[in-house]
């Protein structure tokens, strides 16, 4: 039997017909990033731009996520980014429980293949789909551990697009996540840099 891999999984996602979303998609969006990614980001679902390009988080929310990562000292190429569902729901509505359930095996396989240091859940749909309960307002900015996997919860970047007051908190959350994962050496180096300026 062929060993499982992110590439094999992506190939399956591209031709998936497990739920009705395949009928209206332009392209499925498996996710992208390196196999050795220490951080995995999980959002809600692809939007219009993602559906057109077949890549996650390339629209306005994605641009904000990329900006937040860069300001925190991380490149997009260092992290793995995906969504709870891999096809765009019509009209950008929230995915249904049935659609989430159909895609859940793909997400679980991605998590198992990557074994990231931290999985960052972006928004309430990701929190409910992965943790089974909880809300962003109650968990935001916190690290949690479930079944040996660490999670970190923050806003979906789209929320910070709709409400500019949320941009600073969102970027602060991403900075805290990057600091935690990059470890003490990165923090110590930045403190020395500030000191010697």
CA distances from 52 to 26, 57, 70 (A): 6, 12, 25
pLDDT for residue 71 is more than 90: yes
CA distances from 49 to 15, 28, 88, 180 (A): 19, 12, 10, 31
What is the C-alpha separation between 89 and 104, in angstroms, rounded? Answer: 15
Count Cβ atoms below 10 Å from residue 50 Cβ, excluding itself. Answer: 25
What pLDDT, in 10s, does the model give residues 130-151? 999 888 988 999 999 999 999 9
What confidence score (pLDDT) does residue 17 get?
97
**pLDDT grade, residue 189 (50/70/90)?**
low
pLDDT for residue 174 is more than 50: yes
What confidence score (pLDDT) does residue 196 get?
57
Give this prediction's pTM: 0.91
What confidence score (pLDDT) does residue 133 get?
86
pLDDT for residue 16 is more than 70: yes
């Amino acid at each position: 039997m062929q060993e499982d891999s992110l590439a094999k999984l992506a190939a399956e996602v591209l031709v998936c017909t497990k739920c009705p979303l395949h009928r209206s998609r332009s392209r499925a969006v498996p996710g992208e990033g390196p196999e050795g990614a220490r951080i995995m980001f999980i959002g809600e679902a692809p939007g219009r731009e993602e559906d057109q390009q077949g890549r996650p988080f390339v629209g306005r929310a994605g641009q904000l996520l990329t900006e937040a990562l860069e300001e925190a000292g991380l490149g997009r190429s260092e992290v793995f980014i995906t969504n709870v569902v891999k096809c765009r729901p019509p009209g950008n509505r929230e995915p249904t429980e049935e659609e989430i359930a159909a895609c859940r095996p793909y997400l679980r396989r991605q998590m198992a293949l990557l074994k990231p240091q931290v999985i960052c859940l972006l928004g309430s749909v990701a929190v409910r789909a992965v943790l089974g309960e909880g809300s962003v307002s109650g968990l935001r900015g916190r690290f949690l551990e479930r079944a040996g996997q660490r999670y970190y919860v923050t806003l979906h970047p789209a929320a910070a697009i709709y409400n500019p007051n949320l941009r600073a908190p969102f970027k602060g959350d991403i900075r805290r996540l990057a600091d935690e994962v990059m470890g003490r050496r990165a923090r110590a180096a930045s403190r020395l840099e500030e000191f010697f300026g």
